[in-house]
């Protein structure tokens, strides 16, 4: 990957990483890492909405070839799937992982060894999937991995339901932010993930992410090294929300924002309990969403 130096290396060299580790770790005693603000003492294995105590749980890790082309390159994106989630959408397509918590406990050294393994097998980046509730653990693992030669970009692959204070701790740590922007309507977010404030939180969070890393940048081989990618899963019967989200991205984030419109919605988890979520997205609905993006001159990545 050309000569790009990940942000976290300089941050460690300047002493900033250790300060961030201490700040993030202190939040676990009365956890306010995410907008749920559960304030449980996770250092004593108390568990709030994310169902996670002191240590992270990892469901799987691998060189993943199903991500955006700019992340996959020739050798894959080094994904680490963290179990549990602070959002827990009822239709989640990783329901067993994100809601039911399937996975194994992993201490800081284990997470660091996973990062180094993914780099060793040639992955272009470390892709942290559902990381919001385990930021302190990730930072401590990163500190260990850097000492053993980690030097590829770090991706924060999240739901968009993020605390600004936590994101500020990640400034100069994360190279690529990849949030979802799921819903525009508060009533829908309350219904689908018990968080009426999701749209408001996601707008602020994505703005902060873009302020930190800017638009997507790729190296000479077309592999991403830094910047923002926003994902939006097009939902059945909710094209008005899609249009509002695309307008927000263009007008309030950047006209050059890289957006991945995703078509793979189908009923999973508890989606069959809600009538409008009980059928897959139609091809016609997805084509309409693509047309919306084109009319807005949004940069769609596929």
Strands 77-82 and 104-106: unpaired
User: How is the chain split into domains, by residue range?
Assistant: 7-300
And the tokens for 124?
A: 């272009």
Whose tokens are 């994101």? That residue is 167
CATH topology of domain 7-300: TIM Barrel (3.20.20)
For residue 180, what are the β-bridge partners? 231
Label residue 222 exposed, middle or buried (CB < 10 Å: 0-12, 13-18, 19+): exposed
CB 179, CB 162: distance < 8 Å: yes
Distance CA 30, CA 53 (A): 12
Helices and strands, number each (H, E), in the chain:
11, 10
Distance CA 254, CA 257 (A): 5
The SS3 call for residue 172 is: coil
CB 220, CB 163: distance < 8 Å: no
Q: Who contacts 300 (Cβ-Cβ below 8 Å, separation ≥6)?
A: 259, 260, 261, 290, 293, 294
pLDDT per residue rounded down to tens, the chain (302 residues): 568 999 999 999 999 999 999 999 999 999 999 999 999 999 999 999 999 999 999 999 999 999 999 999 999 999 999 999 999 999 998 889 998 889 999 999 999 999 999 999 999 999 999 999 999 999 999 999 999 999 999 999 999 999 999 999 999 999 999 999 999 999 999 999 999 999 999 999 999 999 999 999 999 999 999 999 999 999 999 999 999 999 999 999 999 999 999 999 988 888 888 989 999 999 999 999 999 999 999 989 97
Cα 271–chain centre separation: 22
Torsion sign across C-alpha atoms 64, 232, 51, 266 = negative
DSSP conformational letter for 250: I
40, 253, 255 from 210: Cα distances, Å: 30, 7, 12
Which pLDDT score, from 0 to 100, does residue 2 have? 63
Which pLDDT score, from 0 to 100, does residue 130 have? 97
95, 125, 198 from 176: Cα distances, Å: 25, 9, 21
Q: What is the pTM of this model?
A: 0.97
CB 5, CB 18: distance < 8 Å: no
The SS3 call for residue 232 is: strand
Burial per residue of 226-240, b for 16 or more beta-carbon CB atoms within 10 angstroms, e otherwise: bbbbbbbbbbbebee
């Amino acid at each position: 990957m050309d000569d790009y130096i990940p942000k976290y290396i300089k941050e460690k060299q300047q002493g900033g990483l250790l300060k961030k580790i201490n700040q993030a770790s202190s939040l676990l005693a009365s956890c306010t890492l995410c907008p749920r603000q559960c304030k449980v003492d996770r250092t004593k294995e108390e568990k709030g909405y994310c169902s996670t105590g002191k240590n992270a749980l990892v469901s799987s890790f691998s060189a993943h070839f199903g991500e955006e082309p700019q992340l996959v390159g020739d050798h894959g994106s080094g994904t680490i799937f963290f179990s549990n989630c602070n959002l827990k959408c009822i239709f989640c397509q990783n329901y067993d992982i994100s809601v039911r918590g399937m996975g194994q406990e992993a201490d800081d050294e284990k997470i660091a060894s996973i990062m180094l393994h993914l780099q060793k097998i040639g992955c272009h980046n470390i892709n942290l999937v559902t990381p919001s509730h385990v930021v302190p653990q990730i930072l401590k693992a990163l500190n260990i991995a850097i000492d053993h030669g980690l030097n590829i970009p770090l991706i924060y692959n999240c739901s968009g339901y993020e605390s600004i204070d936590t994101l500020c701790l990640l400034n100069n740590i994360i190279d690529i932010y990849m949030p979802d922007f799921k819903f525009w309507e508060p009533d829908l977010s309350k219904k689908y993930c018990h968080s009426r404030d999701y749209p408001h939180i996601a707008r602020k969070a994505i703005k902060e992410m873009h302020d930190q890393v800017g638009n997507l940048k790729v190296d000479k081989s077309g592999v991403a090294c830094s910047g923002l990618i926003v994902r939006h899963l097009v939902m059945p019967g909710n094209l008005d929300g899609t249009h509002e989200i695309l307008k927000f991205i263009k007008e309030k984030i950047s006209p050059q924002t890289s957006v991945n419109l995703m078509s793979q919605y189908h009923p999973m988890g508890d989606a069959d309990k809600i009538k409008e979520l009980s059928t897959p997205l139609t091809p016609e609905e997805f084509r309409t969403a693509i047309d919306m993006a084109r009319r807005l001159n949004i940069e769609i990545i596929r």
